[in-house]
Amino acid sequence: MGYPRPSYWFETGSEPLLSITLGQLIEWAAEEYADKEALVSVYENVRWTFKEAKEKADQLAAGFLALGLNPGDVIAVWGFSSSYFYQTSLAAARAGLILAKVDPSYQAPELRHCLNKVGAKLLVAAETDVTQNYYKIVHSLAPELDHCAAGQLRSEQLPALRTVVMTGDLTHQNTYNLDDLITLATPEGIARLIEIQKSIQPDDGTAIHYTSGTTGSPKGALLSHRNIINAGYWLARQTGMKKSYIMCAQMQCCHVGISIGGIIAGLHVGFTLVFPSPKFNPESSIEAIIQERCSALIGTPAMFVDLVSKARELGITINNIEIVYIGGSVVPEVLARQIIKVLAVKRFCLKVVNKEGKMVPMGSPGELWARGYIVMLGYWGDEAKTRETITADGWLKTGDQVILLESGHCKVVGRLKEAIIRGGDKVFPKEIEEFFLSHPDVVDAQAFGVPDARWGEEMCLYIRPKEGSSLTEEHMKTFCKGKVSTNKITI
């Protein structure tokens, strides 16, 4: 007798999960891959081997300790992908600090929220980029920098922050330069790192990534050493990353994709991480891919759309890429068919449930819940939100509406909070976007709900046509007829 199968998936494996810390992984990689290049920052003209990266991290870590920081303290890094971001990421782990990674696009109110949310005692900030002056923003929140000694900040708006560290060559009043901290390192301080590493446990927190979410201010997701060590290890293993590979990183280091898929995975298997530019620039990415002979590429769907478009415009064929990591938003099927390589990840559980938390039959839509080493410890300083998101028995409610297939793969329907309720019917933007993206003259499509007196919400659609296309509204309406339900979109 065939029983109905619930939407549940469990993956095991023959190898146990790794129980080491990030600091230990850094030390191991420096010995295992000593003279292999770990980081290439093209625009900074920086090239570090794994041994050099560890040495630079230890010097900065000892500098942090010389300022009076202690294991378990929270520090923050704010800026674009760079050698200093990479160095700070490793140094924090070596000193036993928890590193909060702030999006470089954030403005003063967002920066204030992120720093205060986690009680950051020290901030490492970029100098400037083409869009904003980071020091100017910091100073707007902490004008007290004009009247305090370096490391002795007492700010009304940033009460926990004591020290501001700037990168670059400029000198700012009552702040440290990153190079200043390195000069504070002593042999005794570096020796202390060994003792600190002995005291850190795999389940201790090590990184805070801010989730943008769909409601409210950014929330700080606290990840343990076990979380990121195993996520990076299995991501590299299951996607076939090798020591010989070179990865072009188009995303910012504050994103978990680069932190785990780039930095942590690279430490595990010894591949080289390449930063082509401080911010995404498709032409810079193409130049770096060719110049550094990159064999792996990581980015968001929008980045790949622009990269493909620019390569076609320049008449360039990129034929040395073997592995692509893509994420950060829904991947359109038409884009996925060109670039995605998907393999299953081991040692976790998935199930799909209805709004009461009960499993739905296999192949039926519902919310995806996950459990295993991939689940964060919780939201920093927000127990209520943590309890709302993670159940008592460890299931993380992802908020994704999916269909679980017999193979263990998930078909993403959309985000529950993004669903448009039109006349009582639930419509997911992803479905509509993918339909319009199937048109040969459409480069991008974004669907969203707007208030409507009759329907409650109505579907609004933005379409970006290919350059030189003569698409019109009437043309697209004709394209919809007989293919999309009128319950989903007005034609």
Residue 401: the pLDDT is 82
In the chain, what are the helix, strand and coil shares in percent, each to the nearest 5? 35, 25, 40
Residue-wise pLDDT for 456-490, tens only, equals: 778 888 888 888 888 888 888 888 887 777 667 76
Secondary element (H or E) of residue 473 = helix 473-480
Structural domain boundaries of the chain? 8-12+347-415, 18-346, 419-480
- 8 Å CB contact between 206 and 223: yes
C-beta of residue 276 within 8 angstroms of C-beta of residue 340 = no
**pLDDT tens string 217-272:** 788 999 999 999 999 999 898 888 999 999 999 999 999 889 999 999 999 999 99
- CB-hemisphere CA count at 13 Å for 109? 3
Position 343 scores a pLDDT of: 25
Give the pLDDT of residue 220.
93
Give yes or no for a contact between 201 and 285, defined as CB atoms under 8 angstroms apart.
Answer: no
Residue stretches of the chain with pLDDT short of 50: 1, 336-346
Q: CA-CA distance, 15 to 296, in Å (whole number)?
A: 26
Rounded Cα–Cα distance for residues 297 and 321 (Å): 7
What is d(CA 404, CA 284) in angstroms, rounded to the nearest whole number? 38
pLDDT at 393: 85
Integer angstrom CA distances of residue 294 from 2, 87, 275, 297: 49, 22, 11, 7
CATH fold, domain 18-346, is Rossmann fold (3.40.50)
pLDDT of residue 491: 62
For 40-79, letters b (16+ CB in 10 Å) and e give bbbbeebebbbbbbbebbbbbbbbbbbbebeeebbbbbbb
- Could you tell me which CATH number the domain at 419-480 has? 3.30.300.30
Under 8 Å between Cβ of 156 and 198: no
pLDDT of residue 359: 87
How far, in Å, CA of 470 to CA of 476, rounded?
11
The whole-angstrom separation of Cα 455 and Cα 63 is 60
Q: Within 13 Å and on the Cβ side, how many CA atoms surround 324?
A: 20
Q: What is the pLDDT of residue 425?
A: 67
Overall fold of domain 8-12+347-415: Luciferase; domain 3 (2.30.38)
Residues paired with residue 272 on neighbouring β-strands, in sequence order:
246
Q: Whole-structure pTM over 0.75, yes or no?
A: yes
Predicted pLDDT at 288 = 96
pLDDT for res 339: 44
